[in-house]
């Protein structure tokens, strides 16, 4: 790659991203955040339609970029942002499926840690299951702001799964251990942040429940999680 465009997956020049990047899974959610919340938002990446924008929120420079689905996908993008674009904080703002009966649709989970059995962990030379943790600095700020939100916000562990469809579900076991919800990205983000010496936090809205079978339509997942989006933006 050229010195000005340092990675094969992001075609933005060096310096195009702010120190803090909000990272939804869905590129359409990234576009929605840029259009609805950022001033002077510029598209800085669109390789494979994984859209990244940089603009300003209440006078603070901030970026938002999609991660795609799964540990391998967010693993690539968060690694490149941390290590090639000098990003210091990545805040995942995604969706999760509730496995705790206490959670309802559109509740928010702030992930203190992320259990996983993903093979992605092996890339760090660690053989076995892991539960990497978030940045305490970002977590404490998020919990303080969460008190202002008109919705239920819970802090605790998530489970990052490699498989959306599985014949070997562990949700009942995980629920008994206090895991709140399942998603597919937080563990890889937390591992990359730890390895790079940077900060990461996953904030997830409940889009469906493995307990009740309820689920939100795709459009609500793209544009309906405003409390989560505003919580992520508040950390800037």
Would you mind telling me the total number of residues written for the chain in this entry? 236
pLDDT band with cut points at 50, 70 and 90 for residue 219? confident
User: How many Å apart are CA 191 and CA 180, to the nearest integer?
Assistant: 20
Tell me the domain boundaries of the chain: 20-234
- Looking at per-residue pLDDT, the higher value among 165 and 38 belongs to 38
pLDDT band with cut points at 50, 70 and 90 for residue 5? confident
- The two three-digit tokens of residue 171, written as one number: 């949700």
Q: Which residue has the tokens 């690694």?
A: 79
If DSSP states are collapsed to H, E and C, what string results for 71-133? HHHHHHHHHHHHHHCCCCEEEEEEEEEECCCCCCCCCEEEEEEEEECCHHHHHHCCCCCECCE
**Annotation: CATH topology of 20-234:** Rossmann fold (3.40.50)
Q: Which residue has the tokens 């702030």?
A: 110
Among the options 86, 107, 117, 208, which is catalytic? 208
Q: Which residue has the tokens 């942002």?
A: 81
Q: pLDDT tens, 81-97?
A: 999 999 999 999 999 99
Is there a contact between 232 and 91 (Cβ–Cβ < 8 Å)? Answer: yes
User: How many Å apart are CA 14 and CA 6, to the nearest integer?
Assistant: 7
Tell me what the mean pLDDT of segment 158-187 comes to. Answer: 91
Q: pLDDT tens, 111-135?
A: 999 999 898 988 998 887 889 999 9
Is 208 one of the annotated active-site residues of the chain?
Answer: yes
E strand segments, 117-221: 153-160, 181-183, 199-209
| pTM as predicted | 0.94
pLDDT band with cut points at 50, 70 and 90 for residue 223? low
In 3D space, the residue among 196, 197, 175, 194 whose CA is nearest the CA of residue 186 turns out to be 194
Q: What percentage of the chain carries pLDDT values higher than 70?
A: 97
């Amino acid at each position: 790659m050229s010195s000005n465009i340092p990675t094969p997956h992001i075609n933005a020049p060096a310096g195009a991203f702010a120190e803090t990047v909000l990272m939804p899974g869905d590129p359409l959610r990234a576009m929605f955040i840029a259009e609805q919340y950022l001033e002077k938002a510029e598209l800085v990446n669109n390789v494979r339609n994984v859209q990244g924008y940089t603009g300003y929120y209440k006078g603070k420079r901030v970026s938002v970029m999609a991660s795609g689905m799964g540990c391998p996908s967010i693993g690539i993008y968060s690694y490149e942002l941390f290590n090639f674009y000098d990003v210091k904080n990545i805040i995942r703002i995604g969706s999760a499926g509730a496995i705790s009966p206490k959670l309802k649709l559109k509740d928010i989970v702030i992930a203190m840690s992320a259990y996983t059995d993903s093979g992605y962990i092996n890339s760090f030379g660690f053989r076995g299951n892991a539960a990497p943790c978030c940045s305490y600095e970002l977590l404490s700020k998020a919990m303080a702001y969460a008190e202002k939100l008109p919705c239920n916000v819970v802090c605790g562990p998530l489970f990052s799964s490699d498989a959306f469809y599985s014949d070997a579900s562990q949700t009942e076991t995980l629920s008994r251990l206090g895991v709140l919800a399942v998603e597919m990205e937080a563990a890889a983000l937390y591992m990359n942040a730890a390895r790079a010496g940077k900060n990461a936090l996953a904030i997830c809205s409940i889009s469906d429940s493995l307990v009740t079978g309820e689920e939100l339509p795709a459009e609500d997942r793209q544009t309906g999680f405003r409390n989560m989006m505003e919580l992520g933006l508040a950390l800037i």
